[in-house]
């Protein structure tokens, strides 16, 4: 899963540039990235 993180960051950067920070697609990518990070580093 660690290889996915850079891909999500790249997708987020592209979406922010092409669609804007508040576009629903950009927001969804950001949410997915946060979910991935939470799964990789669950709090105890």
Q: What is the pTM of this model?
A: 0.81
Provide the residue ranges of all domains of the chain, joining segments of one domain with +: 6-35
pLDDT for the residue 41: 83
Structural tokens at position 13? 């950067």
DSSP output for 29-43: HHHHHHHHHHHHS--
From residue 10, alpha-carbon distances to 1, 25, 41 in Å are 15, 14, 20
Share of the chain above pLDDT 90, in %: 61
pLDDT (average), residues 26-36? 95
Distance CA 3, CA 23 (A): 25
| CA 26 centroid distance within chain | 8
Which has more pLDDT, 34 or 41? 34
Residues in the chain, overall count: 44
pLDDT (average), residues 14-24? 98
């Amino acid at each position: 899963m660690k290889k996915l993180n850079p891909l999500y960051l790249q997708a987020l950067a592209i979406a922010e540039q092409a669609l804007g920070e508040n576009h629903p697609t950009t927001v969804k990518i950001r949410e997915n990235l946060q979910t991935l990070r939470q799964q990789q580093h669950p709090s105890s």
